[in-house]
Amino acid sequence: ASLQDALENIDVGGPSMLRSAAKNHEAVLPVVDPTDYPVVLELLRKGGLTPAVRREFAAKVFTHTSDYDAAVAGYLTPREDGLPARLGVAMERVQALRYGENPTQRAGLYVTEEPRGMRDLTQRQGKELSFNNLLDVDAGMWAVAWWSNRPACAIIKHTTPCGIAVAPSAVEAFRSARATDPVSAFGSVVAFNTVVDKATADAMADLFMEVVVAPSFHAEALAAFAAKKQLRVVELPVSKGAGALDYKRVRGGFLVQDQFRFDPSEVGWKVATRRQPTETEWNDLRFAWTAVAPVKSNAILLARKEAAIGIGAGQMSRVDSVFLAVHKARQQGHDPAGSVLASDAFFPFADGVEHAAGAGITAIIQPGGSIRDAEVVEAADRHGMAMVMTGKRQFRH
């Protein structure tokens, strides 16, 4: 729409009438949200329009008109480099939480109008979701979102996967994801990008989980989960994001960026080594590049047969993440020899490649872009490894 069309469609009378009604809420009940209609009808039946209720509805009006004004202001504000000079974020609290990351911190769940977001979350059973549960639910559904046509499962601890896999069915994906690191899977959030059936629910029966989250559950699966009364079972739509902005709190303000969207395109990918990956390696490299995206940086992920076998997350040096991924694989009985490795960012030195080669890893996928790329590729060539450079970094701070 043109600026003139937008100006013509700015509502002046509607907000004015709503604000007038809200100001006089002692005599008028202003209702601004259609989802409140059933509540109002019930209050009218019971004679429950107390001063406190009227005040609550009035406050909701002023919040709504404020959000509308913020949207208009955002549209009219000049943009520099694609970002507005001023930002107003409208959110509604939909759940008061017992506490935040720690018991001394107050917390609540506030939602925006983003489609397929937390506003659309439905809890089917179990204890109240905690602050940390919700963080892990979001991380889990984000981790599995990028496989549109394959059942995927991610097992999340502290917002990063400790297991992730794709397979022909949800139950096979779960078994492979759990096999990554069965010890860390204890007390996890398990996320799926597909419907959970009874076979999958039965396969999870012996694992203690905080939450199971998926877009939907078969009735038989819900019946199976009912035996675990404390288990939180949550439905949340799969979403790859709505192209919205992402906010990071800093002291006295926010850092704002575009939401990260995984790019499955192989445009710009190149094989940097003398040896080309085999067909089997290519398949696992593509999986590993997708699976490493939700892992906290510095992130290294080892994969075989479209499942992670070792994950090194959140280390301060990349070589330590390689060491940890190899260690975790061996700890759980996986042989790294013959597996592939994905790195979320470039190798600043050749030491990470040397360590991977020493473990028998045969192929690597990474963004490239280091001033020492030539040394890194030379190390891979010396060990007969294949290396793919994507040209795209995937940091997750």
Annotated catalytic sites, by residue? 23, 158
Distance of CA 19 to the CA centre of its chain: 38
Label the pairing between strands 307-312 and 300-304.
antiparallel
Question: Is residue 112 within 8 Å of residue 185, measured between CB atoms?
Answer: no
**DSSP summary character for residue 168:** S
Q: Residue 97: how many CA atoms within 13 Å on its side-chain side?
A: 20
The token pair at 68 is: 């509308």
Q: Roughly what angle, to the nearest 10 degrees, separates helices 13-23 and 51-76?
A: 150
Q: Which residues, other chains included, contact 144 with Cβ-Cβ below 8 Å and sequence gap of 6+?
A: 152, 153, 154, 164, 191, 192, 193, 238
Contacts 24+ apart (CB under 8 A), 194-199: 194/151, 194/152, 194/170, 195/170, 196/170, 196/221, 197/170, 197/171, 197/221, 198/223, 198/224, 199/169, 199/170, 199/171
The token pair at 95 is: 């759940």
Inter-CA distances, 290 with 204, 241, 278, 392, Å: 25, 16, 18, 12
In degrees, rounded to 5, the angle at the alpha carbon of residue 72 between the alpha carbons of residues 251 and 95 is 55
First-residue to last-residue Cα distance in the chain? 37
Label the pairing between strands 107-111 and 209-214.
unpaired
Residue owning tokens 């038989």: 220
**Residue 342's beta-bridge partner residues?**
301, 365
Question: Is residue 142 within 8 Å of residue 152, measured between CB atoms?
Answer: no
Q: Is 305 exposed, middle or buried (0-12, 13-18, 19+ CB in 10 A)?
A: middle
Q: Roughly what angle, to the nearest 10 degrees, separates helices 351-358 and 318-331?
A: 20
The alpha carbon dihedral of 335, 328, 157, 281 has a sign of negative
